[in-house]
Amino acid sequence: MRSEPRLPAWLTRPLGDPARIQEVRKTISAHGLNTVCSEARCPNRGDCFGRGTATFMILGDRCTRDCAFCSVGHGAPEGPDPGEPAAVAAAAASLGLSYVVVTSVTRDDLRDGGAASFAETIREIRGAIPHAGVEVLVPDFEGRQAAIDTVLHGGPDVFGHNVETVERLYEGVREGADYRRTLDVLSHASRALGTARVKSALMLGLGERREEIEATLEDLRAAGVGIVYLGQYLRPSRAHRPVARFVHPDEFREWERRARAMGFSQVSAGPFVRSSYRAEETFARARTTAPGSSGAEKRPGAKERERSAEPHHA
């Protein structure tokens, strides 16, 4: 007998192209790398792998935290692999990527939270694929601004850190994290990079109320976030937090309109939207629709990046 309610029709999609999916998997595996696509059981992996894209997950496959929504393994991780940054760059080049998203497990065991590995990975990608855009999706580094600065010195085109859910649900959903600390991370990055290049994502369907979503979006705007993604929470196994509700695509469209009205420069909202899903398209739009902003329309040169990543204090 079925133990789960049937998924609504809008969460149905075709199987991906098997040949291309296998090619991406072989490339990732040949370089000894992990993707958050597979580790987090992303529902888009067939689609993304089929289009030849993936989001690299650095610093191992074991997270020092154990969030209730996430299937990435947790436990005591191994030390960082010094060859990993170059391996990510080689895999991205091999896959022919023009936009590379790099994320990681949370590494509260490391003094810098793995920030240096992010910076090195960005530099290696720049060396291997000079024309590629690079986006990072980082953990909160326990709020350490020096770690955020280290990542920013690497020169990402987009700096992402996900708020994930509303403040009330942090306890129980995002153990070990702190809502205000997440806003501080985003605020710090925004002061250095500019609003148009700072991104965050929010899952709906965890039990949040409408006014809480609204308040979270307002907090993100106040923190200087310019790019926001909203998607449906889907649990990766029966051991994870149940879905509280399936949000209709029409409601996602409403949230997209609302977020744009609040002043976000780039918004993506929909049942299958994840923080790195089709991120290259958002970045391309940002480049063409934000002339004159301090945003992603033009990648800063190395010196400019150095300057822009200097800590700013309000």
Partner 1 sequence: MLRDVVFEPSGTDSDEFTVSYWKIDPGERVGVGGELLVVESVEEKTALVVPSPFAGVLTEIVAREEHTIVPGALLGRIEVS
Binding site for partner 1 (CB under 8 A): 1-2, 4, 6-7, 11-18, 21-22, 38, 41-43, 45-46, 49-50, 234-238, 272
CA dist., res. 203 & res. 191, Å (int): 25
Q: How far is the CB of 62 from partner 1 (least distance, A)?
A: 18
| Identity of the residue, 7 or 222, whose beta carbon is nearer to partner 1 in the bound complex | 7
| Identity of the residue, 41 or 168, whose beta carbon is nearer to partner 1 in the bound complex | 41
| Identity of the residue, 17 or 108, whose beta carbon is nearer to partner 1 in the bound complex | 17
| Identity of the residue, 136 or 201, whose beta carbon is nearer to partner 1 in the bound complex | 201
Order of strands across the sheet that contains 99-104: 34-35, 55-58, 99-104, 133-137, 158-160, 198-204, 227-232, 266-270
Q: How far is the CB of 161 from partner 1 (least distance, A)?
A: 22
CB 229 within 8 A of CB 269: yes
Q: How far is the CB of 152 from partner 1 (least distance, A)?
A: 32
Residue type, 246: F
| Identity of the residue, 56 or 69, whose beta carbon is nearer to partner 1 in the bound complex | 69
| Identity of the residue, 154 or 271, whose beta carbon is nearer to partner 1 in the bound complex | 271
Q: How far is the CB of 15 from partner 1 (least distance, A)?
A: 5
Q: How far is the CB of 77 from partner 1 (least distance, A)?
A: 22
Helix (H, G, I), strand (E, B) or coil at 286: helix
- Tell me which long-range contacts 209-218 makes (C-beta under 8 A, separation of at least 24): 209/166, 212/166, 212/167, 212/168, 213/166, 213/255, 214/258, 215/166, 215/167, 216/163, 216/165, 216/166, 216/167, 217/255, 217/258, 217/259, 217/262, 217/264, 218/262
Q: How far is the CB of 105 from partner 1 (least distance, A)?
A: 18
